[in-house]
Structure 1
């Protein structure tokens, strides 16, 4: 059974997780997570060393590498992508990019046993990165595709009845969202950040389904066409 490593630096948090799924043995997950704004470059690779050491493994024993491919912080995405791509290239292993918004949806599903989840991350510049999901059997299904928009424009899928759960830093802008969204989302967690613990589980799902992308094929997903912005006069 596969051994997968995941890295994430898409937000103010930095994390690494190692998932071992060995034949005839219980699943083992080793992870590190810390809120480390502006310290991702210094903290990310030591976290990788720590999870490998705790599991008693070497990099050569990995079957695949995964990372949070976005959306999120432009700088953080490039840091994680560069580190993960370097590991995958050096080891000649597949590199799986995993949605940070899907990871947040899985976190809400696992922690709160909710099915309908709206994930939102603060995209700055008065916008949010957002998607909506139906989570079943530990796997989110996208109902609203990932997008970047002002919170005032958010609309939920009308075909999905029932209450929704909101998760991610974008929910700090809840008061700017339409009244019908605030009514439908009965509870939310605006403090949650994407974490490698959920990313590695999603990567394991994709790996089991046959995903084996080469390291050079993976690219961060910014959602914005422009990754740099200057305030106008």
Structure 2
């Protein structure tokens, strides 16, 4: 299949183009605000290097979240816009599933609690087990304090949470991993075969946390609680 994959859910944007059975071409760069300006030129460059026109793709695969709110909106807007313009289906993939697949590809782990930094002193987490042919979700996506994440004995942890929260996480195997476009490409065939693709309008983000900022009054109340008494 000819596929374009992209993820902008973290501090790194990642894109890849798969043309048939050839090795995919990949590119990454700084995420966040930089991703929105760099993403489309990078996609155009990879398509040109692959010898593919946008209309020659079979689908656009993207990380739908959870992750950075700005990043998720960027990925969805780009995937949706390109898909509308070329009349292509989109395949939305959970970013934590892509973390698990990236960890499997880099270290061979098959039972993974995947985590991404959710900021605000919390992490996004979900648990997946590799069956030998596909991933099975064992615990759905949740946002919680790092010390509340449950990791079964013998399972690995994977993600980008160990630098900020490592001392508050359980002990065990730790694999640094991000939801790469290459991982999305590896996940895509089984998900497409299962009928998970949809029209361009289906390119919508997965938000786990509804509230991403405190009001001025809430910040003032929090400071009052933590300030020493006069």
TM-score range, shorter chain: 0.7 to 0.9
What's the counterpart of residue 173 of structure 2?
186
Of residues 96, 104, 117, the one that matches 1:101 is: 96
Q: CA distance change for structure 1 residues 62 and 225 in 2, over 3 Å: closer, same or farther?
A: same
CA RMSD in angstroms comes to 1.8
**Quick check: 1:4–1:18 contact (8 Å CA) kept in 2?**
yes
State the Cα distance separating 1:138 from its structure 2 match.
5.6
State the Cα distance separating 1:47 from its structure 2 match.
1.5
User: Aligned equivalents of 2:31 and 2:57: distance in 1?
Assistant: 26
Moved more, 132-141 or 37-46: 132-141
TM-score by length of 1: 0.86
User: Aligned equivalents of 2:174 and 2:7: distance in 1?
Assistant: 26
Does residue 5 (structure 1) correspond to residue 1 (structure 2)? The answer is no
What's the counterpart of residue 220 of structure 1?
205
Residues 163-207 of structure 1 show CA distances to partners (whole Å, capped at 9, x for unaligned) of 222221123312113xxx32xx22332xx3221111122223211
Equivalence map 1:157-176=2 (5 Å) = 157=152, 162-172=153-163, 173-176=165-168
* Secondary structure in structure 1 of the residue aligned to 2:33: coil
Of residues 26, 43, 68, the one that matches 2:63 is: 68
Q: Which runs of 5+ in 1 are unaligned?
A: none
**Quick check: 1:144–1:156 contact (8 Å CA) kept in 2?**
no
Q: CA distance change for structure 1 residues 92 and 227 in 2, over 3 Å: closer, same or farther?
A: farther
Of residues 130, 138, 143, the one that matches 2:125 is: 130
Of residues 209, 219, 225, the one that matches 1:232 is: 219
Q: CA distance change for structure 1 residues 138 and 198 in 2, over 3 Å: closer, same or farther?
A: farther
* Secondary structure in structure 2 of the residue aligned to 1:147: strand
TM-score by length of 2: 0.87
Residues 34-91 of structure 1 show CA distances to partners (whole Å, capped at 9, x for unaligned) of 2344310111111211211111111010111111100000001001100000011111
User: Aligned equivalents of 1:137 and 1:31: distance in 2?
Assistant: 26
State how many pairs are aligned: 217
* Secondary structure in structure 2 of the residue aligned to 1:39: helix
Residues 113-150 of structure 1 show CA distances to partners (whole Å, capped at 9, x for unaligned) of 11111111110111000111112336322111111111
Equivalence map 1:120-159=2 (5 Å) = 120-137=115-132, 139-157=134-152
Which structure: larger Rg? Answer: 2
**Quick check: 2:103–2:158 contact (8 Å CA) kept in 1?**
yes
What's the counterpart of residue 83 of structure 1?
78
User: Aligned equivalents of 2:87 and 2:9: distance in 1?
Assistant: 24
